Amino acid sequence: MVDTINQNCDLVLCVSDAVRDLAVHYGLQPSKCATSYIGTRQADAFATTQPRDAILRQDGTFALGYLGYMRRDKGFLFLLEALESLPEDLAKRLRFVAAARSDDEAMAARLHNLAPKLAELTHKDGYSHDDLDALCAEVDVGVVPVLWHDNLPQVAIELHSRHIPLLTSDMGGAKELANSPDMTFAAGDIAAFHARIAAILNNGVDLDAYWAAARAPTTMDVHITELLEHYSNEPMAQTAS
């Protein structure tokens, strides 16, 4: 497959730098691989929302939001384990909002069992794009705890586009939206996740620096323009670059 691509393709478009790194690692010619962040209508919200002044609420708590699926590869089981083992002094200051369908009864039960431990637990049985604005209004920090090379999760873009800071694992492309070491933890590392939660609760995240380093989400117009620029280049110019 790698040889076939190298011999017959003029250009390989990768939806994040993480994907490009993997492609090159497995043998694709670096000169043929270019990162092209996907466009989304969700990016329009970035221009109409403003970053919040602080993560913590007046009572010293903050709401951590997970949007997506109750799946192991998406990191939901890891997240449950991390929250179940979160030290009490941290847990009592953490609100958790999970917008995920209850397809897995065992995971759903474990989620609801967290209620007495946390400052607040809210579970929404899935969500639609029409619900995003109202849902994100309840969230202070979005969490994307993926355990595999998730290219660039759409849910990360949805949260990021509404100026919700992202706490992400270091796997896949989600971390590239914020480019913030202070909001990144090693995938599957519960202690590292706890350390990030503690840092947030201790006002250890500089939001001005966070948004200064963040990547603006790609609009559809920008994405189409970039695609046309790629497609208009001569094939040999691409392979020689």
Taking a C-beta distance cutoff of 8 angstroms, is the pair 177, 166 a contact?
yes
How does pLDDT run along the chain (241 residues), one tens digit per residue? Answer: 999 999 999 999 999 999 999 999 999 999 999 999 999 988 989 988 999 999 999 999 999 999 999 999 999 999 999 999 999 999 999 999 999 988 889 999 999 999 999 999 999 998 888 889 999 999 999 999 999 999 999 999 999 999 999 999 999 999 999 999 999 999 999 999 999 999 999 999 999 999 999 999 999 999 999 999 988 875 544 443 3
In sequence order, what E strands does 18-160 have? 33-35, 62-68, 94-100, 120-124, 141-144
Residues in the chain: 241
Tokens 């639609």 belong to which residue?
128
Q: Helix, strand, or coil here: 161? A: helix
pLDDT given at position 231: 86
Q: Helix, strand, or coil here: 222? A: helix
CA–CA separation, 62 and 220 (whole Å): 32
pLDDT given at position 240: 39
CA–CA separation, 70 and 99 (whole Å): 9
CA torsion 102→103→107→109, rounded to 10°? 50
pLDDT given at position 51: 93
pLDDT given at position 198: 98
- Please tell me what DSSP assigns to residue 189: -
Tokens 């993480």 belong to which residue?
18
Taking a C-beta distance cutoff of 8 angstroms, is the pair 67, 42 a contact?
no
pLDDT given at position 234: 55
CA–CA separation, 122 and 219 (whole Å): 31
pLDDT given at position 236: 42
pLDDT given at position 128: 86
pLDDT given at position 237: 43
pLDDT given at position 60: 97
pTM for this one? 0.91
